[in-house]
């Protein structure tokens, strides 16, 4: 099976060939840990988890190295720590914020069925590598020291802008706002900056006398280098990272190592919006993974994410969540009814994934397997079970009815049973006005009745 992936750098889908098939290497930009992760942050985590699973299947689990970093030094972290723990020394406050956020993030993504990456490097554990990279760049004339900062000289790299395909004019227009006076060129970006009093600080590179801290972009170049080498196979993240973050990572790594590439394939997931609007705190439609998990099992959230191709924008809606929950309930029922065991991975599903992670097509195939299983094909039920698990969907949790009951919280089953009993009696007495009234009363409570020869059962409507 041939894996084809869309490469942002080439703007085309290309055959994926690892630099070294015995060590397939992927780097994905992970979270900045200062608050609960939102559902948009979950998108790259889930998308690249599917790719990780596919690579492990294609090349062997022990041959794939997946590094997803944790940014644990950053302006937003410092601001949050100052705000939440004003009485504490800043370093202590930062430790509390990052440790708690780190733990929440891991609980959340585990619940979404994501495997732990092979390595999760932390920025603060890679300061010596960052310093070494910075000194190489200065030594080769790609970076300079100014006012205790180190800046990357964008003009020293003729191919700067290749990933984002921005024209120099566009980039300049963006960079001209508030240009720091020490920059030689408005587009030059920070590799290292002096720390303000109380901020986390480390000995600076290049003989700068005051202590400082790294810029964001250099973190990823350093961590990727340490764990994956000077060049590697896949670099991923959300589409918002193309410029400037990934453009700058490429500039740093290629100039430091004199390589024609940093990563062979650059992959970017599309953005997530909520009910047709940009997700933002001010609009009040900011959904954390934690909030969603309180309502829905991780399986449902993961499935909903995979219903849209990773490069498309995704509109996160309540009705899509319902659709995901119903699809999974259908799979769960067919697997349970057939008492399915382990089967084979569906080849059409694998083929869909190998075509630039076409998860919507993979889902079409899952529905096809489920339909076959419903017609009594036991092997299809077994294959469905195994293929869902391969995709990180456990199908092991509660039934949709139990989920809805939990969501409603106020369901009084005894009261419903009494109403149904009264309705049955009314019907027996041919008092249809009364029996209809009771059905409507139940309907207003979101309870739907199903009459059969065996009697009347009820469900909570979606
Ligand atoms: P951050 O913690 O903001 O650096 O983001 C971590 C990852 O989540 C990055 O790969 C971002 O590109 C991605 N990301 C952030 N917001 C969204 C969103 N609304 N939709 C999709 N991806 C996002
Ligand atoms: Zn990064």
CA distance linking residue 272 with residue 113, whole number of Å:
19
For residue 213, the cross-strand partners are 193
Query: Which atom of ligand 1 lies nearest, measured to the CA of 238?
Result: 12
Nearest residue CA, atom 15 of ligand 1? 41
How many Cα atoms within 13 Å fall on the side-chain side of residue 175? 20
Q: Could you give the 3-state DSSP secondary structure of residue 316? A: strand
Q: How far is the CA of 280 from the centre of ligand 1 (A)?
A: 12
**Model pLDDT, residue 215:** 95
Query: Which atom of ligand 1 lies nearest, measured to the CA of 273?
Result: 19
Quick one: which H or E segment has residue 277?
strand 277-278
How many Cα atoms within 13 Å fall on the side-chain side of residue 116? 7
Q: Give Cα 433 to chain centroid, integer Å.
A: 53
The parts of the chain modelled with pLDDT lower than 50 are: none
Q: CB under 6 Å to ligand 1: residues?
A: 29, 31-32, 40-41, 43-44, 237-238, 240-241, 269, 271-272, 279
CA distance linking residue 64 with residue 242, whole number of Å:
24
How many Cα atoms within 13 Å fall on the side-chain side of residue 220? 29
Q: How far is the CA of 45 from the centre of ligand 1 (A)?
A: 9
Site to substitute for ligand 1 among 43, 74, 313, most atoms within 8 A of C-beta: 43
**Model pLDDT, residue 166:** 84
For residue 268, the cross-strand partners are 237
The ligand with the least distance to the CA atom of 76 is: 1
The ligand with the least distance to the CA atom of 216 is: 2
**Model pLDDT, residue 279:** 86
Domains of the chain: 18-269 (3.40.50.620), 318-400 (1.20.120), 411-460 (no CATH)
Nearest residue CA, atom 1 of ligand 1? 31
Q: Which residues of 65-80 are buried (b: 16+ CB within 10 A; e: fewer)?
A: bbbbbbbbbbeebbeb
The ligand with the least distance to the CA atom of 223 is: 2
Q: How far is the CA of 260 from the centre of ligand 2 (A)?
A: 19
Q: Exposed/middle/buried for 206, CB within 10 Å: 0-12, 13-18, 19+?
A: middle
Share of the chain above pLDDT 90, in %: 92
Quick one: which H or E segment has residue 449?
strand 447-452
Q: Exposed/middle/buried for 361, CB within 10 Å: 0-12, 13-18, 19+?
A: middle
Interstrand relation of 143-146 and 149-152 (parallel, antiparallel or unpaired) = antiparallel
**Model pLDDT, residue 336:** 96
**Model pLDDT, residue 280:** 79
Q: Which H, E and C letters describe 79-129, residue by residue?
A: HHHHHHCCCCCHHHHHHHHHHHHHHHHHHHHHHCCCCCCCECCEHHHHHHH
**Model pLDDT, residue 462:** 84
**Model pLDDT, residue 208:** 97
Query: Which atom of ligand 1 lies nearest, measured to the CA of 240?
Result: 12
């Amino acid at each position: 099976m041939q894996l084809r992936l869309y490469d942002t750098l080439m703007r085309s889908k290309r055959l994926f060939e690892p630099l070294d098939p015995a060590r397939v290497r992927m780097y994905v930009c992970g979270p900045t840990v200062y608050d609960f992760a939102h559902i948009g942050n979950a998108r790259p985590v889930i998308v690249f988890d599917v790719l990780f699973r596919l690579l492990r299947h294609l090349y062997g689990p022990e041959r794939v190295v997946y590094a997803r970093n944790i940014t644990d030094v950053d302006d937003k972290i410092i601001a949050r720590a100052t705000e939440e723990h004003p009485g504490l020394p800043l370093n202590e406050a930062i430790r509390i914020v990052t440790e708690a956020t780190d733990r929440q993030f891991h609980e959340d993504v585990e619940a979404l069925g994501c495997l732990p990456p092979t390595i999760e490097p932390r920025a603060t554990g890679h300061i010596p590598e960052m310093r070494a990279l910075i000194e190489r760049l200065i030594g080769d004339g790609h970076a300079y020291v100014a006012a205790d900062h180190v800046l990357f000289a964008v003009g020293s790299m003729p191919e700067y802008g290749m990933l984002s395909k921005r024209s120099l004019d566009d980039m300049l227009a963006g960079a001209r706002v508030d240009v720091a006076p020490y920059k030689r060129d408005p587009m030059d970006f920070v590799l290292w900056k002096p720390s303000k009093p109380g901020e986390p600080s480390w000995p600076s590179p290049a003989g700068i006398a005051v202590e400082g801290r790294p810029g964001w972009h250099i973190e990823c170049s350093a961590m990727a280098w340490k764990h994956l080498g000077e060049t590697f196979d896949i670099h991923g993240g959300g589409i918002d990272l193309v410029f400037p973050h990934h453009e700058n990572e490429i500039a740093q790594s290629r100039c430091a190592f004199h390589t024609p590439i940093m990563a062979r394939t650059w992959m970017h997931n599309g953005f997530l919006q909520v009910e047709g609007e940009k997700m933002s705190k001010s609009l009040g439609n900011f959904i954390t993974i934690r909030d969603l998990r309180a309502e829905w099992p991780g399986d449902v959230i993961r499935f909903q994410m995979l219903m849209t191709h990773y490069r498309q924008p995704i509109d996160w809606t309540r009705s899509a969540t319902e659709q995901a929950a119903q699809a999974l309930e259908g799979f769960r029922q067919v697997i349970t009814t057939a008492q399915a065991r382990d089967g084979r991975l569906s080849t059409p599903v694998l083929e869909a994934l190998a075509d630039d992670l076409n998860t919507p097509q993979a889902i079409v195939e899952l529905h096809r397997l489920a339909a076959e299983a419903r017609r009594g094909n036991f092997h299809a039920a077994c294959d469905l079970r195994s293929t869902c698990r391969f995709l990180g969907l456990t199908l092991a949790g509660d039934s949709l009815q139990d989920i809805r009951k939990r969501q409603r919280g106020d369901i009084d089953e005894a009261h419903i049973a009494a109403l149904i009993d009264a309705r049955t009696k009314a019907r027996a007495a041919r008092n249809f006005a009364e029996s209809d009234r009771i059905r409507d009363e139940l309907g207003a409570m979101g309870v739907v009745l199903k009459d059969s020869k065996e009697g009347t059962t009820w469900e909570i409507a979606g």
